[in-house]
Structure 1
Amino acid sequence: MDIDAPLPLLGGLSPSQFMQRHWQRKPLLVRGAIPGVRPPLPRAELFALAGQDGVESRLVIQGSKGWQMRRGPFARRALPPLTQPGWTLLVQGLDLHAEAAHALLQQFRFVPEARLDDLMVSHATDGGGVGPHFDSYDVFLLQVQGRRRWRYGRQKDLTLREGVPLKILERFEPQHDEVLEPGDMLYLPPRYAHDGIAEGECQTCSIGFRSPSRGELARDLLQRISDAAGEDDDPRVLYGDAGQQAVRAPGEIPPSLQQFAQEALERALADRDGLPRALGESLTEPKANVWFEPGRAPRRGEGVVLDRRTRMLYDARHVFINGESWRAGGADARLMRKLADARRLTADELARASDAARELLAAWCDAGWAHGAAA
């Protein structure tokens, strides 16, 4: 992607301009961001997908009983009739299940892949929505069918309403009011309050981004680093206190034991590869509901393409894929980085890989992480 070329998707801004002017700063409304856009899945197929195990879906209804929310899977007969107003079906991670949704998500790869999360679709009947709320992450709201009215604005009071199953703002004070038609898109930075109401039957795609909390990320990284330290450390190195004196206060932790613990932690963190490796593995770890079907290695004359469920990243010393890591350098590292960036390699590019790299790619194909593809 040419990050300096204007994009209709961004209203004529280049990705560089958008990131400088709007990303995590201010909203952007784009009319005709994707002219002629169509829903990634027809309605019947979307409803059928929401009935499958392993697909994250929710049903939100606003009616005489107030707000109600249920989690899927949903048999078709469990969904209200389309003639009933005020309900919304949300299907999370549609890009994992539908190639058209995965292709749509790729248009937003001017943001680092490590931040890109998933595509959620919201299918609503007239008046349907999830109430005024805010997200802790950036979001692009792309209208793909029908019309939806969006009221939104920066809001200081983020108090949530009590006694409802959704995170709905107690006092919503919008600053903007816009109706989006198919192909229109609204970008909102984190914590911008917004409320979308369907005007007739409609469908909206939400492109969301990962924003882990500092504590959440620290817990995961420390767990991974400690697991690696446990594998690499010498189990014979045990705490010893041959010079320990008899004590009058047996409940006090000995300073020597505190020092031993300090040194153990410093040793685990001293590995310069430890933290980068843990971060890359964490960022590419598949979600709990993701699984892969075994595949085959590329045939002669074929290239390779990553499975749409595969997450692949790299840093200066490693490549990461689906929660695993490899040290990489030289020509093979450049090839693997290209695979992570482009999500495919041509047959000519694959032919330049070393025997070890081709064996690794073949193992990934066997696991279903990648697939042979025509050049």
Structure 2
Amino acid sequence: MDYQLDLDWNDFLARYWQKRPVLLKRGFKNFIDPLSPDELAGLALESEVDSRLVSHQDGRWQVSHGPFESYDHLGETNWSLLVQAVDHWHEPSSRLMRPFRHIPDWRMDDLMVSFSVPGGGVGPHLDQYDVFIIQGTGRRRWRVGEKIALKQHSPHPDLLQVAPFDAIIDEEMEPGDILYIPPGFPHEGYSLENALNYSVGFRAPNARELVSGFADYALSHELGSQRYSDADLVTREHPAEVQQSELDKLRGMMLELVGDPQHFNSWFGEFISQSRHELDAAPPEPPYQPGEIYELITAGETLQRLGGLRVLRVGDSCYVNGEAMVTEQMQAADALTRHTTITQEMLGEALEDPSFLALLCALINNGYWYFND
């Protein structure tokens, strides 16, 4: 299904994005669920899929992590099954991500899907990232509070909740409704009946992650090997003192490393194009040969991008799943980043370049793109 989001993006970004929560009634008109509760439960049986069950009975919260073998022990109320990165494993669900590409791809993370029975939820909490919550089958009540300091506590080691809060949004959501919540706004949702919810989440790396990631890049590329030097050293009255000029010089060495645009862009492309969840890549057997790729595409076959695959452009370079696409055919490489379905027209004359064709063949043989049946 081709999901069409009824939203004025310019108005939304100006008034709400990272500013205020908002409920978008019938954001998706005539919404149809891309998967069923049984399909979601089946995904949670797989070891590669990140899933959890959250329940609460008599004031006690319980959390268990998949893969699950059975759901026979569950009752009819007060539990939720949550599955991360469903867009990686279920192609129809991945289409729910596409209407949100008005926000840059590098900020987008994954699609989390939950199935809840009456009373099911994870309790009042807050997130440090933006999220669009799409209501599927069933009804669910959502409350969102103001962004104020709230005491947090852990009723279970795997749950972090907040104290009760006054609601600025308190609504029952029906199929096709969308709730946008910026970072730091407390919220809670619980089902009024059996219900599916789809959460489109976004990345928001903190400085610690960025510094750690760049340090790994510097080590792997053997950058920053120049040592501190002080040929202008003179004696000082206090031998244990580290002088401010020395601190400035040391900090400058570090800033110079990060400040190199070529290395910074290369690192960020590799860093941000890596998926945080496993991909459902299925390399073809036997592998394709470049000539076969050429014949199929020129015969009118189209290529489909693997769900959850991160393909980004940083400056004049394109990256896929943590690696740079090394090619002089930038127009064709840009098409791979821009479109989820690739046609012969999008690749153009690049198909006549043996080196680009070899790159494309390698990407297909990695399972990153596949031919539509």
Question: What TM-score range do you get, normalising by the shorter chain?
Answer: 0.7 to 0.9
CA distance in 2 between counterparts of 1:325 and 1:264 reads: 27
CA distance in 1 between counterparts of 2:270 and 2:323 reads: 5
Whether the 8 Å CA contact 2:306–2:370 is kept in 1: the answer is: yes
Spell out, residue by residue over 1:57-98, the C-alpha distance to the aligned partner (whole angstroms, 9 max, x if none). 1111010251111111111246514xx210010011110011
Going from structure 1 to structure 2, the CA distance change for 1:42 and 1:266 (only over 3 Å counts) comes to: closer
2:191 equivalent in structure 1: 198
Structure 1 residue 188 displacement after superposition: 1.3
Going from structure 1 to structure 2, the CA distance change for 1:180 and 1:333 (only over 3 Å counts) comes to: same
Matched, 1:275 2:264: yes
CA distance in 2 between counterparts of 1:272 and 1:373 reads: 38
3-state DSSP class of the match of 1:314?
Answer: strand
CA distance in 2 between counterparts of 1:188 and 1:358 reads: 43
1:118 equivalent in structure 2: 110
3-state DSSP class of the match of 2:330?
Answer: helix
The one-letter code matched in structure 1 to 2:15 is R
Structure 1 residue 282 displacement after superposition: 0.6
CA distance in 2 between counterparts of 1:50 and 1:162 reads: 24
- Greater shift in the superposed pair: 259-268 or 19-28: 259-268
Aligned ranges 1:1-375 → 2 under 5 Å: 9-10=5-6, 13-64=7-58, 66-77=60-71, 80-81=74-75, 84-165=76-157, 166-228=159-221, 230=222, 265=254, 268-269=257-258, 271-290=260-279, 292-295=281-284, 296-297=287-288, 298-300=293-295, 301=299, 302-326=301-325, 332-353=329-350, 354-373=353-372
Pairwise CA RMSD of aligned residues? 3.1
Structure 1 residue 304 displacement after superposition: 2.7
CA distance in 1 between counterparts of 2:250 and 2:219 reads: 13
Structure 1 residue 168 displacement after superposition: 1.1
Question: After TM superposition, where is structure 1 displaced by more than 6 Å over at least 4 residues in a row?
Answer: 237-242, 249-253, 257-264
CA distance in 1 between counterparts of 2:72 and 2:267 reads: 42
Going from structure 1 to structure 2, the CA distance change for 1:282 and 1:89 (only over 3 Å counts) comes to: same
Structure 1 residue 162 displacement after superposition: 4.2
Aligned length: 358
CA distance in 1 between counterparts of 2:265 and 2:250 reads: 23
Going from structure 1 to structure 2, the CA distance change for 1:251 and 1:368 (only over 3 Å counts) comes to: farther
Spell out, residue by residue over 1:312-351, the C-alpha distance to the aligned partner (whole angstroms, 9 max, x if none). 001222111100114555xx21221122111232123334
Going from structure 1 to structure 2, the CA distance change for 1:95 and 1:79 (only over 3 Å counts) comes to: farther
3-state DSSP class of the match of 1:141?
Answer: strand
CA distance in 2 between counterparts of 1:161 and 1:203 reads: 27
Which consecutive residues of structure 1, in runs of 5 or more, have no partner in the other structure? 1-6
The one-letter code matched in structure 2 to 1:204 is N
Structure 1 residue 370 displacement after superposition: 1.4
CA distance in 2 between counterparts of 1:204 and 1:157 reads: 27
CA distance in 1 between counterparts of 2:247 and 2:164 reads: 50
Structure 1 residue 39 displacement after superposition: 2.5
TM-score by length of 2: 0.85
Whether the 8 Å CA contact 2:126–2:185 is kept in 1: the answer is: yes
Going from structure 1 to structure 2, the CA distance change for 1:283 and 1:241 (only over 3 Å counts) comes to: closer
- Greater shift in the superposed pair: 342-351 or 145-154: 342-351
Whether the 8 Å CA contact 2:140–2:190 is kept in 1: the answer is: yes
Whether the 8 Å CA contact 1:299–1:372 is kept in 2: the answer is: no
CA distance in 2 between counterparts of 1:212 and 1:151 reads: 26
Structure 1 residue 105 displacement after superposition: 0.9
The one-letter code matched in structure 2 to 1:341 is R
TM-score by length of 1: 0.84
Structure 1 residue 240 displacement after superposition: 9.8
Which consecutive residues of structure 2, in runs of 5 or more, have no partner in the other structure? none
3-state DSSP class of the match of 1:167?
Answer: strand
Structure 1 residue 187 displacement after superposition: 1.0
Going from structure 1 to structure 2, the CA distance change for 1:258 and 1:23 (only over 3 Å counts) comes to: closer
CA distance in 2 between counterparts of 1:240 and 1:161 reads: 49
